[in-house]
Amino acid sequence: MEELETQLTEVNWSSVSEKINDKGFAVIPRVLSDGQCEEIIGDYNKEDLYRKTVVMERYRFGLGEYKYFNYPLPAIIQTLRETIYLQLVPTANLWMKVLKIDKIFPETLSELLADCHKNNQMKPTPLILKYGKGGFNTLHQDLYGEEYFPLQAVLFLNKTEEDYSGGEFVLTQQIPRAQSKAIVLKPKKGDMLILTTNFRPIKGTKGYYRVNMKHGVSEVNSGERHTLGVIFHDARS
């Protein structure tokens, strides 16, 4: 995993932070190789890797399935989670500062998880999602308790227009006293999307204000679509 860690640290994170602050998201190309994507998908049926499987239609979350990984996380996911967190902490703390929220996130993932565990949030949240034809994910936010981190990552494991069609990633920004804004993204295989967990700051004429954001997946028209979600805080269940 040293090669992946090195590759992640060599990303221009200053540019990524600028994009996140400006838009609420950023796409980083080719974080995972084709082989790494295929390895993650290939492990989908290894049930000992997972703590929980959710069939989305049972809960009206959409149509598809996702599985939460168990501890210890696979090495590639642990490396992603630890390394990316280090790079995102400055942005997260800047957001807390400009929004005047009394919260400072710790420098390391292990410290964040310790805070989660004090709040009885002890279940790992990284997950793999699988959609077939007709599959979709309703707009939502990934909050699992009072302790949270305001940014998360999604890694795309299939080739668009080859392995599947449709299935665009959708973000909505709920602008106060106005209609919501929709953003539609089609990252490529191996790309990583950094996005907000639930809100982001926007600068107005009287300072910064908070806007809520949600994300989901449009209907898959054909094929099979997999993504890896890397959420940094742990969950209660």
Calpha distance 52→195 (Å, rounded)? 24
Residue with tokens 């703590």: 51
Side-chain half-sphere CA neighbours of 162 within 13 A: 5
Task: Decide if 32 is inside a domain.
Answer: yes
Q: φ and ψ at 150, to 5 degrees?
A: -80, 5
Can you give the pLDDT at residue 175? 77
Can you give the pLDDT at residue 120? 97
**Residue of 198, 230, 187 lying closest to 28 (CA atoms):** 187
Structural domain harbouring 86:
2-230
Geometric angle at alpha carbon 113, from 225 and 139, rounded to 5°: 35
Question: Contact, 13 vs 86, CB < 8 A?
Answer: no
Calpha distance 83→89 (Å, rounded)? 11
Calpha distance 158→71 (Å, rounded)? 25
68 alpha carbon, distance to own chain's centre: 13
Q: Which segments in the chain show pLDDT lower than 70?
A: none
Task: Decide if 76 is inside a domain.
Answer: yes
Extract the tokens encoding 104.
């400072």
Average pLDDT, the chain: 96
Query: What digits encode the pLDDT tens for the residues 92-147?
Result: 999 999 999 999 999 999 999 999 999 999 999 999 999 999 999 999 999 999 99
Task: Decide if 236 is inside a domain.
Answer: no
Task: Decide if 235 is inside a domain.
Answer: no
Extract the tokens encoding 69.
């990984």
Question: Contact, 141 vs 229, CB < 8 A?
Answer: no
Question: Contact, 93 vs 17, CB < 8 A?
Answer: no
Domains of the chain: total: 1
**Residue of 148, 168, 149, 150 lying closest to 158 (CA atoms):** 168
The model's pTM is 0.96
User: Domain with 19 in it: what CATH number?
Assistant: 2.60.120.620
Task: Decide if 151 is inside a domain.
Answer: yes
Calpha distance 137→48 (Å, rounded)? 25
Handedness of CA 109, 111, 115, 116 (dihedral sign): positive
